[in-house]
Structure 1
Amino acid sequence: MPKVRFLPLRPLALASLVANVALVVTGAAVRLTGSGLGCPTWPRCTDESYTTTSEMGVHGVIEFGNRLLTFALGIIAVACVIAALLERPRRRSRVLLSVAVLLYIPLQAVIGGITVLTNLNPWVVGLHFLVSIVIIAFAYALWRRAGEGDGLPVRLVPAPLRHLAWILTTVSASVIALGVVVTGSGPHAGDLDAKRNGLDPATVSQAHADVVFLLVGLTLAMIFALQAVKAPRATVRAAIVLLAVELAQGLIGFVQYFTHLPVLLVGAHMLGSALVWTSTLAVLWSLRARPLEPAEPPVEPATLSPAAAEPVPAPR
């Protein structure tokens, strides 16, 4: 059956991925500018208005702008679902991934509302960020799956390296989760009256740094192991890119810690966390491939009848 695409799913999936990374950055801007309660209630911005007012100043504009981005994410997600449903032949995995992205966006909005209603409770704020990380994972998977064929998956590296990649992914997620805890103990609460989680910033920062060192070590091991088994260039390149992003992120993290967390560096570090996560997912996805078309079944050689198999006598 010929393939018919009514809407370009892969560009839409990429737009969804980029927009969700942008939401991380705008969310960081809300916190770092002290605009976490720029709209002091939810779902309205004020008790009387769904939009920001001039009396609320720049903080209201920043918080309301971040809320508007959620609607843009929802529109893109709906477009992805429609594109996946209209594909012929329809791929079940693409439909499910697009629906997962769509369902998580209202959940993200509700958690964002709870953060406002709880006066920026640091644990709820952290959950708000972690849901973005989950959405990014689904959006990235949709983008990669939309560019693959319909053949059976082909494993490009031995099983031990695939296991190492899953360990690497788990540690990468742990680094992000610990970073959330570090943020909840620091000075950037999103509002002057917002509470902190009460943990010692130096202690949780050290724990975060320790897991970062583990992540870098695992990435180096992955690079050497991939080269040892002569893995495809794209797979090795994905691991090298991950290492470069990790080192850049680590440098930003150390500089921001010793310079007392300037807002620009903290914002860059938030963006870096999303880039580390997507680079980790790139390594995981580079260990497999799907041919563009399903493999053709082998053609059995024709079976000759006994009579046909007899030799033909030579002409006299």
Structure 2
Amino acid sequence: MGAQWSKQIDRQKAVMAEKKILRELQERCGSDYPGSSWHPTDRKNWMSGLDPNKVHINEIVWPGTHNSATNKIGIKIITRPFAQCQSLSVYEQLVCGARVLDIRVEQNGKVCHGILTTYDVDVVIEDVRRFVSETESEIIILEIRTEVGRKDPPGFEKYLWEQLGELLIHQDDNVFEKTIAEILPRRIICVWRPQGLHVGKETSPLWSSGYLRDNWINTDLPATKFESNMKYLSHQQPVTTRNYFYRVENTVTPQPDNPVVCVKAVTNRIHGYGRLFIAQCFQQNCVNRLQIFSIDFISEDFVDACVGLTWARIQGKA
């Protein structure tokens, strides 16, 4: 018991030390960058506000949400704090400005996170379709994967075709160089990641998993995650020369050997440093590689940070 208690104290000291590293980095370097003071007048329609005729897909810094459909997961108060990564519904996230969704499903078609489940994936699809019907030029990247350790929902690829068919932007390397206006009226890039073997067909509009990449590490230490994100991002090609999306997640993950295991308390260690990360991308000369930037519990400020950088790129300032 004494050894376990000592280990937990050491883990808490490590967390405090890493929080101090990020705090001091922000105090020393600041979080300003080209576009950091720019804010969209309407987050629900921020792509429209940037002019779809001028915005190329590979110029966009896409605000994303991690474990997007977990606002009602598990049992309120009892199990929900251990798996909930978003407090807003998928529709509300899109209205707030999120444009990349991370959806996990299991065999029966329910959304899940680890061992906990929530509503049917139909709820997600309905939220996406509602948002698309209320806007004209907003493009969404919808990633749907079978959760690790679960089986694929039967016939799921066909289900996605039937539900989103006329809205789907078909898998095509040329999409990256096109403007939003050139892609319309299609609105959704759907990346399907089954656990089983998925052989993409030329006729399929769904995008295979290789088109959305990341380098997720399992840690609750904020500076460790921050530095890992920067290292892996710096190894990517610039956005204008690659034909895949690359995601950086401004999140940390609860660990079983630490007494603090509620998602919100843990992710708050890094949550407020999205702008710092972008500023450091400029300082370390890899901002031209930043593309999808995701977070737990998305905020308006995080959306503005991404949209501001997108605006700066369009203006030739970044």
TM above 0.5:
no
TM-score band, normalised by shorter chain:
under 0.3
Larger Rg over CA atoms: 1
- Higher relative contact order, chain-length normalized (CA < 8 Å, sep 6+): 2
